[in-house]
Amino acid sequence: MNRVYNFSAGPSMLPVPVLERAAAEMLCYGESGMSVMEMSHRSKDYEPIIEAAEAQLRQLMNIPDNYKVLFLQGGASTQFAAVPMNLIGRTGKADYVVSGQFSGKAFKEAQKLGYDVKCIATTKDDNFDHIPTVTPDMIRPDAAYVHICFNNTIYGTKYSYIPDTGDIPLVADMSSCIISEPVDVSKFGVIYAGAQKNMAPAGMTLVIVREDLLEYAEEKMPTMLEWKTMAENGSMYNTPPCYTIYVAKLVYDWILSLGGLDVMKEMNVKKATLLYDYLDSQDYYIAPVKKDSRSMMNVTFVTGDADLDKKFASDAAAAGLKNLKGHRSVGGMRASIYNAMPYEGVQALVAFMKKFAAENPKA
Amino acid sequence: MNRVYNFSAGPSMLPVPVLERAAAEMLCYGESGMSVMEMSHRSKDYEPIIEAAEAQLRQLMNIPDNYKVLFLQGGASTQFAAVPMNLIGRTGKADYVVSGQFSGKAFKEAQKLGYDVKCIATTKDDNFDHIPTVTPDMIRPDAAYVHICFNNTIYGTKYSYIPDTGDIPLVADMSSCIISEPVDVSKFGVIYAGAQKNMAPAGMTLVIVREDLLEYAEEKMPTMLEWKTMAENGSMYNTPPCYTIYVAKLVYDWILSLGGLDVMKEMNVKKATLLYDYLDSQDYYIAPVKKDSRSMMNVTFVTGDADLDKKFASDAAAAGLKNLKGHRSVGGMRASIYNAMPYEGVQALVAFMKKFAAENPKA
């Protein structure tokens, strides 16, 4: 077995101790006599697993008691519809910040569903190379919520601040930065995140929602998208993605064993700094994102030559550094360096970048 | 490690060779250098897995070319909303057969969404102890579809026939009998099934839909529930439940290696016959389901004494026969004996039933 460094934007690397434990427990979990995959979600074997997952996440993120934690299926893309269906009833309209592809998709989904939504800020004209400055005066006073995507996986940008939306609930898609560093949950009305970047394999979406926001759901909406129904049933209105929740719990175990999100942030800053410092020290590679908007999780760069970019991703894969090709919609390169990417992986990447630059002079 | 016989209705037993292979490949799949959990869904490592899963399922079920196969998230419960949202546009109304709890939930969900739906047959007054006889004259001639649940997990009943709905598409929830025996897919417009009973861990729902039925979706519906969008994107409009699909593929491998669905049916008939023959041979236990409606997958029985029922489930668990308690809404006992339950498990159950009856005479 020869494991590679996997820079995939998601699904992405998981901590080796998590994979080892999942493998060891595959045929028999504890005294249960069965795999976690085989457990009834309503059994005495499984219930402690989902309860521990929630308790550990609450501890990790310091989630206040007046927030519900939901483990759902469907992906963050499902929440693009669920967010307006659950919240717009508060006032009848909602505001969106479009800072990249997924925040754009969230906005379009709300439009498609026929809602009164407004894009209050975007950096589209700058090819999303930075995060817009959102100030209270931009927000419609009667907006039901303001929606943002906190970290843009594709462009490699992240909010360096939490927008002040006053009394209007702030809703954030945190799919690609969840549990990468501490965040003040109380500043948000809703936080949601697909699991497959920093938490677990694909197939689970975390929703953290302030209790008072559970009262505004549409009547004629799919029951499975109703946060209140899911909250009242402890994420077990139907069968939850039990095994994915179990792997998420193993990931939470791993982070807690390392010291929690403060330590995780320290490790992530160290990795990102190594890569950005190298990018800033040379001129072979260009990092398109403005410095105040740089993501710690997704680092984008280009050579300025599409053929060289292609060769880079291909040569890197051959050297055991996989999935460095940028998103198909933007090209170039992207190194996703989530929690589970070891520092050594980023060191290996920087060493490869230096070697590639030396061996492939530009025309 | 001491594995039990797990009679859970779902999530439920998986074949040991599947679990062993998943464990062996957990840290590194083939030459990929990573776990399947860590693979980008759009990578050369993962694409052959989802493609093989579809090809193998098509082979197993003999799915005609004019049907699309979708691997989605959300559970069959999500399809309760997706079915009317995708199909009702055909004519504006739909007919439902209510033969148990989940078909009732499907009907209620369509009602909640405000659609013109009619329950054309139900066995509710008989406590769902048999499957209704559905004849063409019951169906509204302008129904967009007729919805049935082919096997009722909770009550332990199953259609012994495929209702003749003429030109009106028949939509069947097959969550608890999918790939347990051959079925003529061409008789159905849509077949859907949650994975966690006979296919994989929870977190994936299979939808098999005839191509001409992709044209009737509502405009204002969540994109993630649109079958056409999912079909056009090969189930990859967003990140699919990659690892669950991989385990499903391992299950399909296992069934194919045994000889396909004909062999699976033979094995399932043998198991169910052993249990039903014993039930019919004695009078300590009562099997409430009428003989022509008996399920091969979920076998329900009671002692007629709620305290004895409780003791049965508890003593059985202590003897390594777990999750025999009936659904909380009906009580009694239920033995779910899906594909992965070995014949020896049913033998052990019958032996335990005899011993329990002898040692616990009724008052």
Question: Which residues of chain B lie closer than 8 angstroms to A320, CB-CB?
Answer: 33
If asked whether residues B241 and B292 sit together in one domain, one would say no
Instruction: Say yes or no to pLDDT of A1 above 90.
Output: no
N-term to C-term CA, chain B: 39
Question: Omega before A288 cis (within 30°)?
Answer: no
If asked whether residues A150 and A230 sit together in one domain, one would say yes
Q: What is the mean pLDDT of chain B?
A: 97
CB contact under 8 A, B202 and A74: no
Q: Which residue has the tokens 């694409």?
A: B47
Give A294's DSSP letter.
Answer: B
Distance CA A271, CA A178 (A): 17
Question: Which residues of chain B lie closer than 8 angstroms to A338, CB-CB?
Answer: none
If asked whether residues B266 and B228 sit together in one domain, one would say no
Identify the closest residue of chain A to B17 by CA–CA distance: A27
If asked whether residues B235 and B267 sit together in one domain, one would say no
Question: Which residues of chain A lie closer than 8 angstroms to B71, CB-CB?
Answer: none
Q: Is residue B343 part of a domain?
A: yes
Helix (H, G, I), strand (E, B) or coil at B294: strand
For residue A329, what pLDDT is reported?
82
Distance CA A1, CA A5 (A): 13
Q: Which residues of chain B have pLDDT under 70?
A: 1
Identify the closest residue of chain A to B201 by CA–CA distance: A37
For residue A73, what pLDDT is reported?
95
For residue B2, what pLDDT is reported?
87
> Exposure of A137 by Cβ count < 10 A (0-12 exposed, 13-18 middle, 19+ buried)?
exposed
**One-letter amino acid identity for B232?**
E
Number of structural domains chain B divides into? 2
Q: Is residue B6 part of a domain?
A: no
Q: Is residue A6 part of a domain?
A: no
Q: Domain range holding B84? A: 16-257
Neighbours of B145 (CB within 10 A): 25
Q: Is residue B10 part of a domain?
A: no
CATH of the domain at B57: 3.40.640.10
From the CA of A135, how many Å to the nearest CA of chain B? 30
| Closest Cβ opposite residue B40 in set A11, A113, A114 | A11
Residues 301-330 of chain B whose Cβ lies under 8 A from any Cβ of chain A: 320, 322-323, 328
Cut 0.90: pTM above it? yes
CB contact under 8 A, B11 and A247: no
| Closest Cβ opposite residue A203 in set B43, B114, B203 | B203
* Mean pLDDT (whole number) for A184-191: 98
B206 forms bridges with which residues in the sheet?
B71, B193
Question: Which residues of chain A lie closer than 8 angstroms to B75, CB-CB?
Answer: 73, 224, 238-239
- Alpha helix segments (H runs only) across B32-190: 47-61, 76-87, 101-112
B325 forms bridges with which residues in the sheet?
B333
B121 forms bridges with which residues in the sheet?
B97
If asked whether residues B86 and B124 sit together in one domain, one would say yes
Distance CA B214, CA B86 (A): 7
If asked whether residues B158 and B240 sit together in one domain, one would say yes
CB contact under 8 A, A37 and B43: no
Q: Is residue B335 part of a domain?
A: yes
Could you tell me how many CB contacts below 8 A there are between chain A and chain B? 234
Distance CA B147, CA B106 (A): 8
Question: Which residues of chain B lie closer than 8 angstroms to A78, CB-CB?
Answer: 73-74, 222, 224, 238
Q: Is residue A1 part of a domain?
A: no
3-state secondary structure A65-130: CCEEEEEECCCHHHHHHHHHHHHHHHCCEEEEEECCHHHHHHHHHHHHCCCEEEEEEECHHHCCCC
For residue B329, what pLDDT is reported?
82
CATH of the domain at B334: 3.90.1150.10
Residues 249-278 of chain B whose Cβ lies under 8 A from any Cβ of chain A: none
**Percentage of residues of chain A with pLDDT beyond 90:** 98
If asked whether residues B247 and B286 sit together in one domain, one would say no
Instruction: Say yes or no to pLDDT of A30 above 80.
Output: yes
From the CA of B279, how many Å to the nearest CA of chain A? 25
Distance CA A97, CA A273 (A): 27
Q: Is A192 on the interface with B (CB under 8 A)?
A: no
From the CA of A134, how many Å to the nearest CA of chain B? 28
Residue that finishes a domain, picked among A228, A257, A286? A257
Q: Is A50 on the interface with B (CB under 8 A)?
A: no
Residue that finishes a domain, picked among B239, B257, B275? B257
For residue B363, what pLDDT is reported?
79
If asked whether residues A200 and A288 sit together in one domain, one would say no
For residue B357, what pLDDT is reported?
98
If asked whether residues B268 and B245 sit together in one domain, one would say no
If asked whether residues B147 and B230 sit together in one domain, one would say yes
- Positive or negative, the CA dihedral B278, B283, B285, B289 is positive
Q: Is B100 on the interface with A (CB under 8 A)?
A: no
**One-letter amino acid identity for B101?**
Q
Cβ–Cβ under 8 Å, residues B131 and B125: no
If asked whether residues A61 and A196 sit together in one domain, one would say yes
Identify the closest residue of chain A to B114 by CA–CA distance: A220
Q: Is residue A89 part of a domain?
A: yes
B98 forms bridges with which residues in the sheet?
B122
**pLDDT tens digits, A216-270:** 999 999 999 999 999 999 999 999 999 999 999 999 999 999 999 999 999 999 9
| Closest Cβ opposite residue B222 in set A6, A34, A81 | A81
Q: Which residue has the tokens 């190194």?
A: A335
Question: Which residues of chain A lie closer than 8 angstroms to B322, CB-CB?
Answer: 33-34, 43
If asked whether residues B296 and B340 sit together in one domain, one would say yes
For residue A328, what pLDDT is reported?
82
Q: Is A13 on the interface with B (CB under 8 A)?
A: yes
Question: Is this complex scored with an ipTM above 0.90?
Answer: yes
Residue that finishes a domain, picked among B205, B236, B257? B257
Q: Is residue B4 part of a domain?
A: no
- b (16+ CB within 10 A) / e for B234-255: bbbbbbbbbbbbbbbbbbbbbb
**pLDDT tens digits, A276-330:** 999 999 999 999 999 999 999 999 999 999 999 999 999 999 999 999 999 888 8
CB contact under 8 A, A220 and B244: no
From the CA of A82, how many Å to the nearest CA of chain B? 8
Distance CA A93, CA A97 (A): 14
From the CA of A81, how many Å to the nearest CA of chain B? 6
